[in-house]
Chain A
């Protein structure tokens, strides 16, 4: 069973992803911020990481950079509610940092499953 680590500070988002991904047979690991997420990645070595961008403690871009530092070929999907820093779109920045896919919130469950499946297949 493939393990997917979901990192998001919003518990509703975490629960929603948990429900969608579990129904599709994935093992879902949950982390509420980037720091826990990185720790959990080191410990569990998941197959895919889905992370939010804007979070307390450690925001998503930093989390992506660290996970990339830990494992250069880690598969990461960045999701975001759409906030920006200056003229930079977070999701664009996440893509530049190494996120394989970027999905703006809210999204369809089918779209998510499709992207997850594609990433895992790659």
Chain B
């Protein structure tokens, strides 16, 4: 059994030495706006002065639901959590959530970035995506409780 992994996409996040990940967005100095995922030009002004910017790994929950039926092109587990997290710098990102029970989540709840295994390819490679988890769940991993 392979232990190889591949990211969902190459330009969404990068791994840090301690194994954690950080989202890679874009920042346009001329517009002063941040976006994610990083694009070739600023989606607010079209300016092409987009610098790579690592985004905050913490934020609060802004919107959430759970997907209960299999959508086209998706081979992962069901149901799964889906929502919007407002990062500590104010940017809101669309994301998978580690919690698939909407009743267990609440508006403004502190969240942090994690990795989540989506599915396993035919050759045994695990596909890894970014996701956000409630801070309570991080109490056992030595995180900031």
The answer to whether A and B interact is no
Binding site for A on B (CB under 8 A): none
